[in-house]
Amino acid sequence: MKTTTAVESVPFAPPAIGAEEIAEVIATLESGWLSTGPRVRRFEAEFAAYVGAAHAVALNSCTAGLHLALLAAGVGPGDEVITTPLTFCATANVIVHAGATPVFADVDPRTGTLAPAAVEAALSPRTRAVIPVHYGGMPADVLAIRAITQPQGIVMIEDAAHCIEGIARGRKVGAIGDFTCFSFYATKNITTGEGGMLTTASAEAAEWIRTASLHGMTRPAWTRHQIGRPARYDVVLPGFKYNMTDLQAAIGLHQLAQIEVNYARRAAIARAYDEAFADLPLGRFAPPPAGSRHAHHLYMVLVDGRAGITRDEAAERLAEAGVSTSVHFHPLHLHSYYRGRFGYSRGAFPVAEQLADTVLSLPLSPALSDAQVDHVISVVRRIFGG
Ligand SMILES: Cc1ncc(COP(=O)(O)O)c(C=O)c1O
């Protein structure tokens, strides 16, 4: 990439917001309808078409989607749900919210995603669901996990917070498991500020989740008020306040329209990093297998000691040179709550722990300029002796 201007700092994942998003937000503000309404319905339809899912339900977060998917699957007290420790806390917190027990299983060292053999070893008669995470945009081996769990009636809920554009061995993420949950948080591949989407092939589950996302009411406000007079509704379950607003969908509609353009830019930056770092003493995750597509949410390197510097020292030196970084993730089983409540300790998941100790995410966003990408490259090469 060519340097055009001097760079002083590179943010980690700035959002790429265009004039269309801004105009649609203004149009929404002027429309008189701000909460869940016509723009949310359009965003759901267009998102379902993009991932090839039968049904999509827009929510206020991916976390809400994971929670409602567990409840729709009937997961509750006494049940176990298998997931990866190398993930954001929401993935396992929702298992606790559902009253079930999170059971962690180790990851594949080549990809950082849930290892099918570890899932198999973690199965018990109480296993009710499995939540693979498409880590950093790398599709998890969901077909292998499905082959192990589906014959036992175990529900698969995919955490695709990082992986809207992903394809897993020829199958589009969003149309594989029983439920797939996506995040539109500010740093994600598309954003609505905060927001999420759940996709499923089940019309019945989609309907239950839609109702549960808005207090358990039979008729949302938009349809109640269309006729201009009070309309009766019934509360059929004690639901949640998890709905997306039209203001969020206004942004999401135009983010979705740009998804492939922004994906191509992130993929180009990832390729530029790959080429520039090829000779450095850094570890890497493997590329996705044939027929798969990495969603390039994160660009991660493994600072595994070969360069004579720790990950935290590298992050400090990058920060001093104006380059923001992040760690995905500190392993969940070693956080205080999970240690204390479930008795986990270091050594339980050695592969996830080794990756978590060495992984470092570099800036990646379509909003980065060529000059900013060049700056990251030159600072990384300097620190790692290139
Ligand atoms: C892997 C993973 N799962 C779930 C979430 C939760 O997404 P949200 O903030 O939309 O609830 C995140 C958010 O960062 C995430 O990284």
Compute, in angstroms, the gap from residue 159 CA to the centroid of ligand 1.
8
DSSP character at residue 1:
-
Compute, in angstroms, the gap from residue 251 CA to the centroid of ligand 1.
18
Cβ-Cβ contacts under 8 Å for 137 (sequence gap 6 or more)? 162, 163, 165, 166, 189, 294, 295, 296, 297, 298
For residue 297, give Cα distances in angstroms to 23, 139, 265, 289.
26, 11, 11, 17
Q: Do the beta carbons of residue 284 and residue 278 sit within 8 Å?
A: no
Atom of ligand 1 nearest to the CA of 196: 10
Residues framing ligand 1 (Cβ under 6 A): 61-63, 87-88, 90-91, 133, 159, 161-162, 183, 185, 196
For a pLDDT cut of 70, what percent of the chain falls above it? Answer: 96
d(CA 69, CA 89): 17
Our mutation pick for probing the ligand 1 site, out of 59, 66, 68, 88, counting the most ligand atoms within 8 A of Cβ, is 88
The low-confidence residues of the chain, meaning pLDDT below 50, are: 2-4
- E strands of 177-307, at which residues? 179-183, 196-200, 299-302
Alpha helices in 32-111 (DSSP H): 38-51, 62-72, 89-97
The domains located in the chain, with CATH, are 19-257 (3.40.640.10), 260-383 (3.90.1150.10)
Q: What is the pLDDT of residue 5?
A: 57
d(CA 299, CA 166): 15
Compute, in angstroms, the gap from residue 62 CA to the centroid of ligand 1.
6
Q: What is the pLDDT of residue 85?
A: 98
d(CA 126, CA 100): 10
Dig out the tokens for 240 from the structure: 């949640």
Atom of ligand 1 nearest to the CA of 328: 16
d(CA 154, CA 127): 7
pLDDT for 137-172, tens place per residue? 999 999 999 999 999 999 999 999 999 999 999 999
Q: What is the pTM of this model?
A: 0.96
3-class DSSP string for 108-165? CCCCCCECHHHHHHHCCCCEEEEECECHHHCCCCHHHHHHHHHHHCCEEEEECCCCCC
Our mutation pick for probing the ligand 1 site, out of 60, 61, 63, counting the most ligand atoms within 8 A of Cβ, is 63
d(CA 7, CA 323): 10
- E strands of the chain, at which residues? 55-59, 80-83, 101-104, 127-131, 155-159, 167-168, 171-172, 179-183, 196-200, 299-302, 359-362
Compute, in angstroms, the gap from residue 183 CA to the centroid of ligand 1.
6
Q: What is the pLDDT of residue 225?
A: 64
Active site residues: 188
Q: Which amino acid is at 26?
A: I
DSSP character at residue 288:
P
Q: What is the mean pLDDT of the chain?
A: 96
Atom of ligand 1 nearest to the CA of 133: 1
pLDDT for 170-219, tens place per residue? 999 999 999 999 999 999 999 999 999 999 999 999 999 999 999 999 87
Q: What is the pLDDT of residue 223?
A: 72
Q: What is the pLDDT of residue 184?
A: 98
The number of helix segments (H) and strand segments (E) in the chain equals 14, 11
Q: What is the pLDDT of residue 226?
A: 67
